């Protein structure tokens, strides 16, 4: 019985995630989520109480995945350029596997001040002390003369801007046949390399 309940709860989460990513929070209803999951609306409310709770559970999980490279403890023995490359690569690949997430993130940021405040608080919670550690590493690199004067926040903003904007433009590139089924994988890998090289070049003295 317990396994069956866990399976249904997971099924609801998976179906809700798909609908939230496809339609956004406002247009996805618990009725539609229940239909997609093959259960009653009452069962959705039994597990998650409200649509907001269900959305936040999914959103938190995705945001944690996206921010993992910045929330993890840094390897202090790794040269900074290699550390930065590793963080960008992990973040880029996470977004590549969840390409609708940037659209949902932007939609929720723009939709209301409440959602924007929630996202802000969640980012602070997830990154916490570890983002300060990354900042200290950046400060040490600047003080040693290894990189130009820059902050950890500057670097994180550059990473977010370059990666997220690429995946938001990707559908347009596909419509223009710049990206096709044949070159898609290679194009995305080349863009990842280009972003890494751009970021490393920008922080050089």
State the pLDDT at residue 128: 66
State the pLDDT at residue 130: 57
Q: How many CB atoms lie within 10 A of CB 95?
A: 21
- The three-state secondary structure class of 156 is helix
Q: Distance (Å, rounded) from C-alpha 168 to C-alpha 99?
A: 8
* pTM value surpassing 0.75: yes
pLDDT in tens, the chain (205 residues): 454 667 899 999 999 999 998 888 888 999 999 999 999 999 999 999 999 899 888 888 888 888 777 766 666 678 999 999 998 999 999 999 988 888 888 877 777 777 778 777 877 776 665 567 788 889 999 999 999 999 888 898 899 899 999 999 999 999 999 999 999 999 999 999 999 999 999 998 7
How many residues in total does the chain contain? Answer: 205
State the pLDDT at residue 76: 67
Q: Token pair 């609708």 is at which residue?
A: 100
Q: How many CB atoms lie within 10 A of CB 185?
A: 11
State the pLDDT at residue 26: 83
DSSP secondary-structure letter at 176?
Answer: T
State the pLDDT at residue 4: 64
State the pLDDT at residue 81: 92
Q: Distance (Å, rounded) from C-alpha 131 to C-alpha 149?
A: 18
State the pLDDT at residue 108: 75
């Amino acid at each position: 019985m317990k396994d069956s309940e866990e399976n249904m709860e997971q099924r609801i989460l998976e179906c809700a995630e798909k609908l939230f990513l496809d339609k956004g929070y406002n247009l996805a209803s618990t009725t539609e989520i229940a239909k997609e999951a093959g259960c009653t609306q009452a069962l959705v409310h039994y597990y998650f109480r409200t649509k907001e709770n269900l959305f936040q559970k999914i959103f938190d999980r995705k945001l944690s995945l996206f921010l993992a490279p910045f929330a993890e403890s840094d390897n202090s023995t790794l040269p900074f350029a290699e550390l930065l490359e590793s963080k960008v690569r992990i973040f880029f690949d996470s977004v590549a596997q969840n390409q609708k997430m940037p659209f949902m993130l932007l939609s929720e940021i723009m939709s209301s001040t409440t959602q924007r405040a929630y996202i802000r608080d969640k980012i602070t919670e997830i990154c916490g002390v570890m983002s300060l550690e990354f900042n200290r590493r950046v400060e040490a690199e600047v003080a040693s003369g290894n990189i130009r004067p820059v902050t950890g926040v500057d670097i994180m903003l550059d990473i977010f801007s370059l990666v997220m904007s690429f995946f938001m433009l990707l559908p347009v590139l596909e419509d223009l046949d710049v990206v096709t089924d044949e070159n898609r994988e290679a194009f995305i890998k080349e863009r990842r390399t280009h972003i890494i090289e751009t970021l490393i070049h920008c922080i050089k003295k």
